[in-house]
Amino acid sequence: MRWRREDYDADPVTTARRLIGARLVHDTAEGRTAVRITETEAYGGFWQGRPDDGAHAYKGRTARTEVLFGEPGHAYVYLIYGMYCCFNISCDAEGTAGCVLLRAGEPVEGLDFMQRRRGRAKGTALTCGPGRLCLAMGIDRSLYGADLVTGPLWVEDGAPCEVETSKRRNIDYARYGKDFPWRFTLKGSLWVSR
DNA sequence: CCAGTGATACTCT
DNA sequence: GAGTATCACTGGT
């Protein structure tokens, strides 16, 4: 069952947890690829009274973060380190800039196509890590702002599963946010980033 | 371990 | 408008 608008209308932590075990599907002219989502991180809002200064929208609205302030269920894709893309899903009410970063997945459809997009990468390196997931799924900045409710990229429900919680990766620069336990992984899965 | 890569968001003028 | 620091990462050594 494809997620509808109201499925994205929840705070980032709730949405990030719920996305674990769900499927991410992308249809293109060349074919379909899909993963079972195994690793997510929540961005935006507060934890124990402290604001998430690790969130891109923390300092306010800019051209890049504009989509985060709109209606939930849209793609927030940005270029990182000049070479790679990170894919986030906007969530929470319109006017509230919450999102969920998708960091890893387990291939479930279009494995050959993913392998072609990923060249020599093997095993979990195919889809584990935010940049790798985007490469394997064919997600780039042309999908910035894409509507996941109506577009060629979407989320569907998956089988129920157990979720583990840990600290977010690579945000040491955030004074408060570096300690937030806002990383979620599929329990027991090897398909997670290092 | 560390170089590569360029958009972004600042800071001055 | 120009200059610059920084970055929610990856792949090869």
Domain that holds residue A53: 5-186
pTM score of the predicted model? 0.96
Kindly report the CATH number assigned to the domain that includes residue A163. 3.10.300.10
The average pLDDT across A30-36 equals 97
pLDDT of residue A62: 95
Confidence of residue A123 (pLDDT cuts 50, 70, 90): very high
Q: Is A194 within the bounds of a domain?
A: no
Phi and psi angles of residue A128, each rounded to the nearest 5 degrees, phi first: -105, 120
Q: At what angle do helices A130-137 and A111-118 cross, to 10 degrees?
A: 120
Q: For chain A, how many structural domains are there in total? A: 1
- For chain A, give percent helix, strand, coil, nearest 5: 25, 35, 45
In Å, what is the separation between the CA of A138 and the C1' of C13? 28
Give the span between the Cα atoms of A87 and A60, in whole angstroms.
20
A141 pLDDT higher than 90: yes
Mean pLDDT of chain A: 97
pLDDT of residue A194: 80
- Within residues 143-172 of protein chain A, the ones with CB less than 7 A from nucleic strand C are 169-171
Q: Is A192 within the bounds of a domain?
A: no
